[in-house]
């Protein structure tokens, strides 16, 4: 019988923190705080804002801080985030977001792989998905 030895990386169990480097930090903060209604739980500076999402944190920061990368050109997709809700809430979320001026990129759809999805973008062009397992 072989014994499997777990290395240090084997102890990673979940993603706790996501940082978005924002092209337009003010617009992104407004979107996540006012449109998405994510609660601000920490503001470390004018260029670092943290939102609480259950056990996770979503942070916004500006380019040029710790890492000196330049922002990618506008219109270039950088990431996709997916937020899970109960099945009956997907369409309700889409309606609420549309009432706040958010354009759905792909409408509410029951996917063949067992998810109900709706896709839209944040002010920087990142793809956001609200989904439910069905």
Q: What is the mean pLDDT of the chain?
A: 92
* Six-digit token string for 49: 């804002």
Task: Assess contact for 90 and 133: CB atoms under 8 A.
Answer: no
The pLDDT of residue 2 is 60
Q: What is d(CA 125, CA 14) in angstroms, rounded to the nearest whole number?
A: 26
The pLDDT of residue 10 is 82
User: Integer distance in angstroms from the first to the last C-alpha of the chain?
Assistant: 40
Q: Which of 3-12, 27-36, 51-60, 115-124 has the lowest mean pLDDT?
A: 3-12
Q: How confident is the model at residue 1 (pLDDT cuts 50, 70, 90)?
A: low
Residue ranges of the chain that CATH labels 3.10.180.10? 15-66, 76-134
CB atoms closer than 10 angstroms to residue 90:
23
The pLDDT of residue 106 is 97
**pLDDT exceeds cutoff 60 at 67:** yes
Q: Which CATH superfamily is domain 76-134 in?
A: 2,3-Dihydroxybiphenyl 1,2-Dioxygenase, domain 1 (3.10.180.10)
């Amino acid at each position: 019988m072989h014994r499997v030895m777990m290395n240090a990386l084997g102890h990673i169990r979940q993603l706790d923190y996501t940082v978005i480097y924002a092209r337009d930090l003010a617009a992104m903060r407004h979107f996540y705080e006012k449109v998405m209604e994510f609660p601000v739980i920490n503001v470390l500076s004018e260029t670092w804002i943290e939102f609480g999402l259950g056990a996770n944190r979503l942070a916004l920061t500006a380019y040029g801080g710790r890492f000196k990368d330049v922002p990618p050109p506008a219109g270039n997709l950088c990431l996709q985030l997916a937020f899970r809700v109960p099945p009956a809430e997907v369409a309700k979320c889409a309606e609420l977001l549309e009432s706040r001026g958010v354009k759905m990129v792909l409408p509410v759809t029951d996917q063949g792989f067992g998810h109900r999805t709706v896709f839209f973008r944040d002010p920087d062009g990142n793809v956001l998905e609200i989904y439910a397992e069905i």
